[in-house]
Amino acid sequence: TCPSQCSCEYHGRHDGSGSRLVLCNDLDMNEVPANFPVDTSKLRIEKTVVRRLPAEAFYYLVELQYLWLAYNSVASIETSSFYNLRQLHELRLDGNSLTAFPWVSLLDMPHLRTLDLHNNRIASVPNEAVRYLRNLTCLDLSSNRLTTLPPDFLDSWSHLAVTPSRSPDFPPRRIILGLQDNPWFCDCHISKVIELSKVTDHAVVLLDPLMVCSEPERFQGILFQRVELEKCLKPSVMMSATKITSALGSNVLLRCDAKGHPTPQLTWTRSDGSTVNYTVIQESPGEGIRWSIISLTSISHKDAGDYRCKAKNLAGISEAVVTVTVVGGVTTTLSPDSSERSPGEPPEQHPQPGLGGSTPPSKSWLSPGLTSAPSYPTPSAALYTSTWSPPPSSLPPIFSAASATTSVQTSISGRTARTSHQPPLLHPGGKSNAKIEKNGRKFPPLSASKKEELALLDQAAPMETNVTIKDLRVARETGVSVTLMWNSSSSTQESSVTVLYSKYGEKDLLLVNADDYGKNQATINGLEPGSQYVACVCPKGVGPREDLCITFSTNRVEGRGSQWSLLLVVTSTACVIVVPLICFLLYKVCKLQCTSDPFWEEDLSKETYIQFETLSPRSQSIGELWTRRHRDDGERLLLCSQSSVDSQMNLKSDGCRTEYYG
Amino acid sequence: TEACLRACPAACTCSHVERGCSVRCDRAGLQRVPQEFPCEAASIDLDRNGLRILGERAFGTLPSLRRLSLRHNNLSFITPGAFKGLPRLAELRLAHNGELRYLHVRTFAALGRLRRLDLAACRLFSVPERLLAELPALRELTAFDNLFRRVPGALRGLANLTHAHFERSRIEAVASGSLLGMRRLRSLSLQANRVRAVHAGAFGDCGALEDLLLNDNLLATLPAAAFRGLRRLRTLNLGGNALGSVARAWFSDLAELELLYLDRNSITFVEEGAFQNLSGLLALHLNGNRLTVLSWAAFQPGFFLGRLFLFRNPWRCDCQLEWLRDWMEGSGRVADVACASPGSVAGQDLSQVVFERSSDGLCVDPDELNFTTSSPGPSPEPVATTVSRFSSLLSKLLAPRAPVEEVANTTWELVNVSLNDSFRSHAVMVFCYKATFLFTSCVLLSLAQYVVVGLQRE
């Protein structure tokens, strides 16, 4: 039998074998017919108005080898449309209206070699498609609407490149790819395809190597062969230190710089594969460059080990390792790297100015880790490390002595470095130029605007100023305002300084209203409670400098916390006093009961019973609940989750404690 | 040859091909039939014009004309005798004349040699009983995409008709008298109609029928004798109907049957011996039904060696299907029997199910799980079904805790996230203190109450 709008031919051969060809090219056919001859080996449905291929449309054609569905109006294909086509070699769907192809259906066609999707409306090939393409030897995606391809697209056939042709009889296996006539966006995503179009004699051959970029504008209309993309650079991660030895309890910053094109992504992992739980700050100061810092606060022995910084982009992966060793005791060891740091080198972690002298507000011990977010883009650079000591307030006295020494040292180096020193968050890229010259390495040139900005800053920062500001500190802080104080060595008026502040982590600096200035002090209003801010005091006409900045956090949580701890103290004191009292009273009651006469005892027990009942008036209903529990699973689940809340609570409080003491 | 080209109508192209003079006037915008055609014309194509009416002897006398095509016109009336003067016409195509709707009983008079008639998509709803009676040579009638609602009575008695195509024509029943006298009918397609009923003995005269396509209709059941007498039937397609079970009697006469389609029905049950006489079956399609079990007895006593399509059924892979698993292994002609139950093997393919043996060698059903609905995921190794049952039971019981552990982990991370998040962890801390405080005060209160009682007692 043959479907009424089709013609079915049988081509017999002399040896008795043969093949059934079915051709349906009726212009009026609007759905895939049922009842094709089951021995059909080649089915052509062409130039019809068939719009969809239903699920399992051909499952009974177990001998089908060629399925040509060219020049119809097929717009949708089900995932299971090609179910059971185990013998299929060729699937041609050219000239349809497909916007997507169910790539997973290639699993139903293990023998498929040719997939022709030429002249459709396919706009993208999803990432997961790549894993199904392996067995194809011809894939034609030409004349579609593709702008890019998945990064691993060409890797589908990487096995072909490594397999040498075993014998001269078999020509080396090749995959033929039709990708021409698509609106390609020529960037690193398709850099491998672009490279492919420039070479010949490859395991992957392009059907038509004359492919043209449509975007970006500068490549519009340009042949792939002539496109010189900005280097699609595999990321490189460099480091100046591979080992850091630090004292127990000190704070350590690990910095990882990577460059590559496109801008790489950075991830930190521990040697055991776990992720790093510490603060990770990342920034990409420019195209192709990214740095990342983890700050390990108050390191303990469990923080020792390898820290791996992995950079990944479309072009590849690279990584660097730094080993952190934690030594016991209280001496602070500066890493060799930071001790020999030159003035041009960015940011050793400065302790708060005046750390050794006037103690910063007790809660601001958190802030060194935050001020330490240097955004120096120093592309060459490396894994910076710096060690600084925690504040004296949270450490035993002997330690604070040691840390005081350290802070003196660093502040000295800070002075010497002052001329070229830029505070971190404010001038990204500030040191790039110097760095480049100094190291004599090649880096992607900074954009013009960046350069201008730098120049301006350089001019704005005079070598000397007659105003010296020291001892910047937070005098008073509330939820929404904070008062800063400093000592000024100059005799000029207070208006000769500017106070700038920003929310921590943001780059935009806000100017404090002049009204709020006092003599050597300024009040910043309108802050958000419970947030962290960076404030800088700068002499007029001078850019903010790192050593004149302070990080503080506005009150809220701390205040609440102390309130609560007060309550705790009160309650525990109450406990301490009340519990022995209760015990004593209980003892009395017992004694009374033991010594009293039977009648009295009976009465007592009755009363006690009543009392207990009033104490737990719901005992009966609880009993009910428990009996119901056995009847009803849902009820049981409820109870389960209830108990789970409890356990969650326990863990949480554990965690709190860790943080509190950590 | 010369004559063919010389007398060619203005709007047409004429060519002399192997089979004679071919006149092509398709897509020529013709509103009426050209006055004259070459006398030698063997084939005239007038497709896709604007012809509205065919008058008497519309084509004059064309003694050689064998093929006339008038598809995709606006024909609304064909005058009786329009085709007079075409004595050798063998193929007449009138498809896609949506305004036609009705044909006069004498429309096809004097076409004694007509073999193929195409009336598809003419929105015909009723045709005279004797419309085709004067077409003794008619072999193929194509009439799909019309509005018949019943099998046209004009078919009755067409003893030479071999192929009849009535797809998508809203036919609702095949009555016992519908196909009387169609002794040479080999192929009848009634697919995609609205057939709800096939009367017993409806195909009684169609002993030559080889292909019967009743797929995609509304059949919920069939009389026992529905296909009686179809001893030459090779293809029977009953797919896409609403059949709930397969009766033993249906296919008993179909000894030559090669392809039986019962896919996309609602079949839950196949009677024993339903396929017993189908020894020549090449493929049996039972996919897309509601089968949980298929008894080996359905095929007995014969041996079924063809392909068996069983996918998309909610199979219950217990010992009743053991034969099928063995047969899958042995023949390799069945695949995709996905188990929906029992719980311990749900989601697996039958070919992977291992049936355990009891001590006396009897097959042991795979275990049922109480919670199958909530975990349709892949079950553990079938060999250790008992163990797996226990373990999954355990995992069930433990399940509600799993998310809690996650929460706990995140909390832990939260705490470790460090400086930036320290405020959040402070908040958590406060919350913890709150809880502790409340708890403590509760204890204190109750104690105090007790103390008060004690004091009262004193």
**A576 contacts in chain B (CB < 8 Å):** none
Q: Which pLDDT band holds residue B76 (cuts at 50, 70, 90)?
A: very high
Instruction: State the smallest CA–CA distance between residue A243 and chain B in angstroms.
Output: 23
pLDDT at A197: 80
HSE, CB side, 13 Å, CA atoms: give it for residue B6: 5
pLDDT over 70 (residue B98):
yes
Query: What's the whole-number mean pLDDT along residues B289-306?
Result: 83
In the numeric block, which tokens belong to residue A337?
Answer: 């790297």
**A655 contacts in chain B (CB < 8 Å):** 411-412, 414-415, 425, 428
Is pLDDT larger for residue A395 or for residue A589? Answer: A589
Q: Do B285 and A585 make contact, defined as CB atoms within 8 angstroms?
A: no
pLDDT at A463: 39
The residue written with tokens 């390609």 in the block is A184
Q: Which residues contact A107 (CB under 8 A, 6 or more apart)?
A: A132
**B447 contacts in chain A (CB < 8 Å):** 578-579, 582
Q: Do A366 and B430 make contact, defined as CB atoms within 8 angstroms?
A: no
Which of residues 411 through 450 in chain B touch A, CB cutoff 8 A? 411-420, 422-423, 425-437, 440-441, 444, 446-450
Does residue B211 contact residue A1 with C-beta atoms inside 8 Å?
yes
pLDDT at A612: 37
Nearest to A387 by CA among A273, A254, A225: A254
Pairing of strands B334-335, B307-309: parallel
Which of A121-135, B127-141, B438-452 has the weakest average pLDDT?
Answer: B438-452
pLDDT at B422: 45
DSSP track, B10-25: TT-EEEEETTEEEEE-
Whether B386 has its CB under 8 Å from any CB of chain A: the answer is no
Is pLDDT larger for residue A131 or for residue B393? Answer: A131
Whether B97 has its CB under 8 Å from any CB of chain A: the answer is no
Whether B210 has its CB under 8 Å from any CB of chain A: the answer is yes
pLDDT at B254: 92
How far is residue A165's CA from residue B110's CA, in Å, rounded to a whole number?
71
Strands, E, within B81-174: which ranges?
91-93, 116-118, 140-142, 163-165, 173-174
pLDDT tens, position by position, A107-118: 999 999 999 999
Is pLDDT larger for residue A28 or for residue B302? Answer: A28
Instruction: State the smallest CA–CA distance between residue A567 and chain B in angstroms.
Output: 8
How far is residue A22's CA from residue A64's CA, in Å, rounded to a whole number?
11
Whether B338 has its CB under 8 Å from any CB of chain A: the answer is no
**B457 contacts in chain A (CB < 8 Å):** 589, 592, 604, 607
pLDDT tens, position by position, A166-200: 545 455 578 888 998 999 988 877 877 887 887 77
Backbone angles phi and psi of B432, in degrees to 5:
-65, -45
DSSP track, A311-358: EEETTEEEEEEEEEEEE-SS-----HHHHT--TTS----PPPTTSSSS
Instruction: State the smallest CA–CA distance between residue B245 and chain A in angstroms.
Output: 22
CA of B443: which chain A residue's CA is closest? A575
How far is residue A10's CA from residue A454's CA, in Å, rounded to a whole number?
80
Q: Do A297 and B96 make contact, defined as CB atoms within 8 angstroms?
A: no
pLDDT tens, position by position, A55-90: 999 999 999 999 999 999 999 999 999 999 999 999
In angstroms, how far is CA A373 from the centroid of its own chain? 17
Is pLDDT larger for residue A403 or for residue A155? Answer: A155
**B453 contacts in chain A (CB < 8 Å):** 608, 611
Q: Which pLDDT band holds residue A290 (cuts at 50, 70, 90)?
A: confident
* Interface confidence (ipTM) of the complex: 0.76
**A659 contacts in chain B (CB < 8 Å):** 415, 422, 425-426, 429
Of B187, B420, B428, the CB nearest to A1: B187
Nearest to A379 by CA among A260, A557, A547, A504: A260
pLDDT over 50 (residue A37):
yes
Q: Do B213 and A660 make contact, defined as CB atoms within 8 angstroms?
A: no
Chain B interface mutation, best of A2, A35, A590, A604, highest count of B Cβ atoms under 10 Å? A35
Instruction: State the smallest CA–CA distance between residue A90 and chain B in angstroms.
Output: 23
Pairing of strands A521-524, A517-518: antiparallel
CA of B282: which chain A residue's CA is closest? A38
Which of residues 269 through 328 in chain B touch A, CB cutoff 8 A? 282-283, 285, 287-288, 307, 309, 311
Of B283, B412, B420, the CB nearest to A655: B412
**A582 contacts in chain B (CB < 8 Å):** 447-448, 450-451
Which of A428-432, A493-497, B193-197, B207-211 has the weakest average pLDDT?
Answer: A428-432
pLDDT over 50 (residue A622):
no
The highest-confidence range among A238-242, A573-577, B68-72, B419-423, by mean pLDDT, is: B68-72
How far is residue B271's CA from residue B265's CA, in Å, rounded to a whole number?
15
pLDDT at B277: 84
pLDDT above 70: percentage of residues in chain A: 55
Query: What's the whole-number mean pLDDT along residues A329-339?
Result: 44
Whether B216 has its CB under 8 Å from any CB of chain A: the answer is yes
**A637 contacts in chain B (CB < 8 Å):** 400
**B283 contacts in chain A (CB < 8 Å):** 38, 60
Whether A579 has its CB under 8 Å from any CB of chain B: the answer is yes
Is pLDDT larger for residue A197 or for residue B195? Answer: B195
Q: Do A568 and B189 make contact, defined as CB atoms within 8 angstroms?
A: no
pLDDT at A606: 42
Q: Do A564 and B419 make contact, defined as CB atoms within 8 angstroms?
A: no
Q: Which pLDDT band holds residue B299 (cuts at 50, 70, 90)?
A: confident
Q: Do B401 and A585 make contact, defined as CB atoms within 8 angstroms?
A: no
pLDDT at A504: 67
How far is residue A159's CA from residue B373's CA, in Å, rounded to a whole number?
43
pLDDT at A561: 52
Q: Which pLDDT band holds residue A46 (cuts at 50, 70, 90)?
A: very high
**Burial of A536: CB neighbours in 10 Å, binned 0-12, 13-18, 19+:** buried
Whether A274 has its CB under 8 Å from any CB of chain B: the answer is no
**A557 contacts in chain B (CB < 8 Å):** 423, 426-427, 430
How far is residue B429's CA from residue B432's CA, in Å, rounded to a whole number?
5
**A652 contacts in chain B (CB < 8 Å):** 408, 411, 428, 431-432
Whether A656 has its CB under 8 Å from any CB of chain B: the answer is yes
Query: What's the whole-number mean pLDDT along residues B234-262?
Result: 94
Q: Which residues contact A401 (CB under 8 A, 6 or more apart)?
A: none
The residue written with tokens 């016992």 in the block is B176
Whether B62 has its CB under 8 Å from any CB of chain A: the answer is no
pLDDT at A589: 80
Of B259, B288, B404, the CB nearest to A38: B259
**A37 contacts in chain B (CB < 8 Å):** none
SS (H, E, C) B413-452: HHHHCCHHHHHHHHHHHHHHHHHHHHHHHHHHHHHHHHHH
Instruction: State the smallest CA–CA distance between residue B232 and chain A in angstroms.
Output: 14
**Any idea how long chain B is?**
458
**Burial of A428: CB neighbours in 10 Å, binned 0-12, 13-18, 19+:** buried
In the numeric block, which tokens belong to residue A463?
Answer: 């070598």
**A651 contacts in chain B (CB < 8 Å):** 408, 411-412
pLDDT tens, position by position, A584-619: 888 888 777 766 544 444 444 444 333 333 333 444
